[in-house]
Amino acid sequence: MDRIRIVGGNALNGIIPISGAKNAALPLMIASLLTSDTLTLENVPHLADVEGLIRILGNHGVDIAVNGRREHQDGSYSRTVHFTCRTVADTTAPYELVSKMRASFWVIGPLLAREGQARVSLPGGCAIGTRPVDLFIEGLTALGAEMEIDGGYINAKAPKGGLIGARYTFPKVSVGATHVMLMAASLARGTTVIGNAAREPEVVDLANCLNAMGAKISGAGTSTITIEGVTSLSGARHRVLPDRIETGTYAMAVAMTGGDVTLSGTDISLLDTAIEAIRRAGAEVSAVEGGIRVIGHGDAIRPVDIVTEPFPGFPTDLQAQFMGLMTRANGISHVTETIFENRFMHVQELARLGAKITLSGQTARIEGVTRLRGAPVMATDLRASVSLVIGGLAAEGETMVSRVYHLDRGFERLEEKLTRCGAIVERISD
């Protein structure tokens, strides 16, 4: 099993190219099930989750062609992938595939809309809370689907003639359920109005792609989205938006280690709240042509309190990384997690590096320390694992991060990107 070795203490200087967003690429790939034409996606990241979903879509009959990767002048890689589902080969998404990645459960929407039926295993993914599927069930039921849970599977069936447009308001904001409703309602008869919809940029990206395929969606990016159903969708060509979580992660790494880094191929407007928190912590962050420039001052980190919230609030996917940054702040900070109930598993591993963190319910109290010390640590989930990398970059001595397969699910070529900026990071294969 691979490990990542980090020797801390080096400031980061240079350019880090930002990849396409995993959280946007996955629903966009699933949208290929909605049409018999080819959906071409540019800027698709090379990640374990993306490769896993490619296998799942292949099970449903999607033919996939990858243009390969070509290195550009800025050192980035941009893949273009073509997805073609002439006919749906199987409307069952089996446990052995869906259990490995929660997002694969989202195929239930397109399968139900296009084929009128779906049998999908209950999902898996990171162990950061129960993340129930009740919102998916309620939303699709509002469109006329019959939903039954049997033996760990959801059996879904559309009414004769297909799904029917309806008004539905989510009792709680859910990005995944909003994705599914957008896809399902695009082929429903009549108009669907979704209330309390997720406002994340990835939702907007999916809506833009669906509209390019012939859907009629308005209001994406607001809490009310309207979808006028169409009889069919065509192919399209769409570029995956930059990964705002990767952007925020590297910005926090620079803020913690010090240095001057340009994050290329990204957009500062994708994460206003997180950028403001990083600035309050003492780093300089500014928009530049083609990206974002971050200047960190290392030992001059200021304590900042944050609360995770749905977009446009502070992203839960950056909570662990920000906590890593706060371990070196000159004072006491607080991090409150409101999205997932089990997303503090990185606390005990950061403590191995010398962090002083105490938990009280949903809030972590972080007392900044003057130095962190390298140690062996273990990744527990995707975002927690990269917080340990950030900690290791600023720690004295060697940090060894095990179970890095979590990192491979969401961070493309992390070691290479950091090494190019002066970090000592290497992957060790046992």
The residues that are catalytic are 126
240 among the known binding-site residues?
no
**Residue 201 annotated as lining a ligand binding site:** no
Question: CA dihedral defined by 110, 114, 115, 116, rounded to 10 degrees?
Answer: 80
CA 360 – CA 335 distance, rounded (Å): 10
Give the CA radius of gyration of the chain. 21
Annotated binding-site residue? 102:
yes
Helix %, strand %, coil % of the chain (to 5): 35, 30, 35
Torsion 283-387-392-268 (CA) sign: negative
23 appears as a binding residue in the annotation = yes
Return the amino acid letter for 418: L
Q: How far, in Å, CA of 302 to CA of 281, rounded?
A: 4
Kindly provide the b/e burial profile for residues 339-363, where b requires at least 16 CB atoms within 10 angstroms of the residue's own CB: bbeebbbbbebbebbbbebeeeebe
Check the annotation: does 174 bind a ligand.
Answer: yes
Annotated ligand binding at 132? The verdict is: yes
CA angle, 175 as apex, 174 and 176 as ends, to 5°? 95
Q: Is 302 annotated as a binding residue?
A: no
**Would you mind telling me the total number of residues written for the chain in this entry?**
430
Provide the CB-side half-sphere exposure for 288 (13 A, CA). Answer: 15
197, two tokens = 């919809």
Does 104 carry a binding-site annotation? Answer: no
User: How many Cβ atoms are within 10 Å of 18's Cβ, its own excluded?
Assistant: 26
Exposure pattern of 36-67 as b/e (b: 16+ CB <10 Å)? ebbbbbebbbebbbbebbbebbeebebeeeee
The answer to whether 280 is annotated as binding is no
Give every strand in the sheet of 117-121, ordered side by side: 92-93, 117-121, 153-157, 146-150
For residue 82, the tally of other CB atoms under 10 A from its CB is 16
Task: Tell me whether residue 173 is annotated as binding.
Answer: yes
133 is in an annotated binding site: yes
Tell me which DSSP letter residue 128 carries. S
In this structure, how many other beta carbons lie within 10 angstroms of the beta carbon of residue 398? Answer: 15
- Counting Cβ atoms within 10 Å, is residue 286 exposed (0-12), middle (13-18) or buried (19+)? exposed
Q: Is 74 annotated as a binding residue?
A: no
Q: Which of 427, 394, 410 is nearest to 18 (CA)?
A: 410
Q: Which residue, 43, 35, 41, is CA-closest to 62? A: 35
Tell how strand 332-336 and strand 363-367 pair up. antiparallel
The sign one gets for the Cα dihedral 159, 176, 30, 129 is negative
Q: Which residues are annotated as a binding site?
A: 22-23, 102, 131-135, 172-175, 317, 339
Q: Which residues are annotated as a binding site for phosphoenolpyruvate?
A: 22-23
Q: Which residues are annotated as a binding site for UDP-N-acetyl-alpha-D-glucosamine?
A: 102, 131-135, 172-175, 317, 339
